[in-house]
Amino acid sequence: MRSRSIRAEVLFDSQPILAHFWPSTGQLVISDRDGIVEAILPPDSWIALAVVNAGSGWGTRPTSADLQGFLERYVATHSRFNGTERERL
């Protein structure tokens, strides 16, 4: 049986950044046009989502709004997207 993922998307420099969360495995994958940026396995994936959505009460199955909030914060704080990685290149 194939599980459906929960999906969120934000635009960064006019390019889509995607997050997929698979409830059946707990895996959280962030990707951009070049491929996978980061793959996070449980329990780290649940912790990463819970930190951003502490008041949601989603347990181990976040809503699309929870995932959207996570992705927006991820892009705002991740070195690949906030400029610090570019400065080192």
Give 7-17 pLDDT, tens digit per residue: 999 999 999 99
Does the pLDDT of residue 1 top 50, yes or no? no
d(CA 82, CA 76): 6
Does the pLDDT of residue 4 top 90, yes or no? no
Whole-number pLDDT of residue 59: 64
CB neighbours of 5 closer than 8 A, spacing ≥ 6?
A: 20, 21, 22, 23
Write out the H or E segment, with its range, that includes residue 20.
strand 15-22
- Give the tens place of pLDDT for each residue, 38-86: 999 999 998 888 888 777 766 667 889 989 999 999 999 988 887 765 4
What's the pTM?
Answer: 0.82
Q: How confident is the model at residue 3 (pLDDT cuts 50, 70, 90)?
A: low
Q: Does residue 16 have a cis peptide bond before it, meaning omega lies within 30 degrees of 0?
A: no
Greater pLDDT, 59 or 22: 22
